[in-house]
Amino acid sequence: MRLLGLDPGLRRTGWGVIDVAGSHLQHVANGTVRSESGLPIADRLAQLYDGLDRVIIEYGPDEAAVEETFVSRNASTTLKLGLARGVVLLAPARAGVPVCEYSANLVKKSIVGTGHADKKQIQMMVRTLLPNCEIAGPDAADALAVAICHAHHSATRRRWHAGRDLEESAP
């Protein structure tokens, strides 16, 4: 199964693609989609959408996972991040790719073991879990962490549903 992890941001949206076979994770690609800060917000959102659309077409993920964003004290910043997050959710959905969301604390806890890990800890664990991975930057590392988190949680969810389905079909 191929997973796309996404870390939303208006300036930079990180993305990471991994392949999952059982408990084996393999790095495929990662990077950042950028928008130009001097442009009107609509044009910046279009840049994000177009960049993510290219990633989705090139790598053909089966599922996508998006990190939920925190609320800033600055209302304007929160609104802009919310707009970017909407595009990040929309791009895979429009391509027919199922999308799951994970809180930042759950992603950190799944990767590092604590919900308050810093970016260096995230990058170190991503490199450990995906050997020989050249990370394109902190936003890409966060996106790979989201993909890894989704790999762990979706596998558990599938096993749980399979067990429940077996119970329901038993005589």
What string of DSSP letters covers 114-132?
A: STT--HHHHHHHHHHHSTT
Q: For residues 71 and 43, what is the distance between their CA atoms, to the nearest angstrom?
A: 23
- Which tokens in the block code for residue 116? 């308050």
Look-up of token digits 């191929």: 2
**What letter represents residue 89's amino acid?**
L
What does DSSP assign to residue 22? Answer: T
Could you list the active site residues? 7, 67, 139
Using DSSP bridges, classify how beta strands 63-67 and 24-34 pair: parallel, antiparallel or unpaired: unpaired
Contact 6, 13 (CB under 8 A): yes
> Which burial class, exposed, middle or buried, applies to 2 when counting CB atoms under 10 A from its CB (0-12, 13-18, 19+)?
middle
